[in-house]
Chain A
Amino acid sequence: EDQVTQSPEALRLQEGESSSLNCSYTVSGLRGLFWYRQDPGKGPEFLFTLYSAGEEKEKERLKATLTKKESFLHITAPKPEDSATYLCAVQAIKGGSQGNLIFGKGTKLSVKP
């Protein structure tokens, strides 16, 4: 069964304290892995798509990496405005959930000034 597990569920950081969020996945052939940011009461905002192991993408203080089993979202010197829930989702090439986004439960990040 295709599955996505994110850890930790919640993460509290001080401003400037770098850390990483984890997304472990089991899927019947990976078409793509997606990171989204979601603020309370808003829709998910697209951050990154990763397609193959070894791929890395960066945007401002965020860097996403991908292996065959997991993805990391590294946050360097976070600011309070980075506080949000970060969602990881995978899209499978085949199987019952083929093509649909399978979401993890998210990591709620809080950055204190």
Chain B
Amino acid sequence: DTEVTQTPKHLVMGMTNKKSLKCEQHMGHRAMYWYKQKAKKPPELMFVYSYEKLSINESVPSRFSPECPNSSLLNLHLHALQPEDSALYLCASSQEYRNYGYTFGSGTRLTVV
């Protein structure tokens, strides 16, 4: 199994809603990542988890809250988002942090209304 699975594929939420994005991998990778990608731009790193511990938080607003319940799962909890947070949210994993290439999921297309 060489996939990173993200759910949901599409999400529309109001600015007062609370929602969560989910990511799952069963490749035994110990590093997992959240990226944000705006249209016609490259992916931007948001968070890095290594061995289920938060290693990197790239100055992301607190309305985005990551969680890594176990080595296969990664969540991104969303609360009080702004319309400018609308983007494609990508999850990725790699065997180890700072080593090896990343496998990306198909992403969640988030629209904040």
Contact = CB atoms under 8 A, between A and B. Distances in A.
A52 B101 CA distance: 15
A25 B6 CA distance: 31
Interface residues of B, number: 23
Contact of B45 (A36, A100, A106): A100
A45 B98 contact: no
Contact of A105 (B4, B42, B105, B106): B42
B51 interface: no
A105 B101 contact: no
Contacts of A89: 42
Interface size class of A (residues with CB under 8 A): 20 to 34
Nearest to B45: A100
B42 A103 contact: yes
Contacts, number: 52
A41 B107 contact: yes
Contacts of A45: 104
What secondary structure prevails in chain A residues at the interface with B?
A: strand
Contact of A101 (B4, B41, B102, B106): B102
Contacts of B102: 34, 46, 101
29 contacts: A31-B99, A34-B102, A36-B104, A41-B88, A41-B107, A41-B109, A42-B107, A43-B6, A43-B88, A43-B92, A43-B106, A44-B43, A46-B101, A46-B102, A46-B103, A87-B42, A89-B42, A98-B98, A99-B97, A99-B99, A100-B45, A100-B48, A100-B56, A101-B43, A101-B45, A101-B102, A103-B42, A105-B41, A105-B42
